[in-house]
Structure 1
Amino acid sequence: MPRSLDGLVLAPVADQAPGQVGTRTRFTYHEEDGEIWAEYAGGDVVRGHLVGTRDGDRLDFRYVQLKEDRTTSSGHCVSTVEELPDGRLRLTETWEWESQEGSGTSVVEEVTESAS
């Protein structure tokens, strides 16, 4: 199993649709006893939270966010955790909105201090 997400900062490797999570968004993850949660912000997202579970290399969580236009949205995501050759972690995500239409895939990777 890849190492713990606790205390890691991750960022998308590409922008999503306008008004959503993008490369300027930063996720700060926490992990304890199979529970995961994170706070995120940046780009069009003023504040976001996710909460869920981890089983091995699989994360299953729900997210909610407040955007700059003062609208809120929420959804569900399943991610696979993998360790990159340089030791950083990558999450490959399949997500779907529950508060609006839309679904997709994305990739977030651990941000090193020199890259943040």
Structure 2
Amino acid sequence: MEGVNLNGRKFVMVSSTASAVDPDSPTEFQYWEADGVVWGSYTGDTVTHGRFVGTRDGADVAISYAHALKAGGKAGGQSSSRVEQGEDGLLRLVEEFRFDGDDTLHVSVCAEVPAS
């Protein structure tokens, strides 16, 4: 994944083992990256607003996150993602994560939204 930067890229969640993904209003993620540091925000589906920060080394991204839930309350935790590039040149993020206080390993997949 050398030469591929996440800066300014937008992704939408397409699947998750933690919850059903609303295809009409999936969680949307905005990524920024500089000098091996990644950060961004997300909203949609069950999340009113969320933030993340972490690092990237090659195809591996490690972040900590926190978000507010539409149903009330908040959630946070850590995740690790693998950046993959499809034949169409668009990226996918395959993420493994655990919520704070829960030992269950979840997997989600986010697909890059093509620039318009």
What TM bracket, shorter-length normalisation? 0.7 to 0.9
Distance 2:78 2:88 in 1: 29
Q: Which residue pairs with 2:14 in the alignment?
A: 13
Alpha-carbon distance, 1:10 to partner: 0.3
For the aligned residues, what is the CA RMSD? 2.0
Alpha-carbon distance, 1:17 to partner: 3.8
CA contact (8 A) 2:39 2:54 kept: yes
Task: Report the AA paired with residue 67 of structure 2.
Answer: Q
Alignment of 1:1-116 (within 5 A): 1-2=1-2, 3-18=4-19, 23=23, 24-100=26-102, 102-113=104-115
CA contact (8 A) 1:73 1:99 kept: no
Task: Report the AA paired with residue 103 of structure 1.
Answer: L
More divergent stretch after superposition (22-31 vs 100-109): 100-109
Structure 2 residue runs of 5 or longer lacking an equivalent are: none
Distance 1:57 1:22 in 2: 27
Task: Report the AA paired with residue 76 of structure 1.
Answer: Q
Distance 2:38 2:22 in 1: 21
CA contact (8 A) 1:16 1:22 kept: no
TM score, norm. by length of structure 2: 0.86
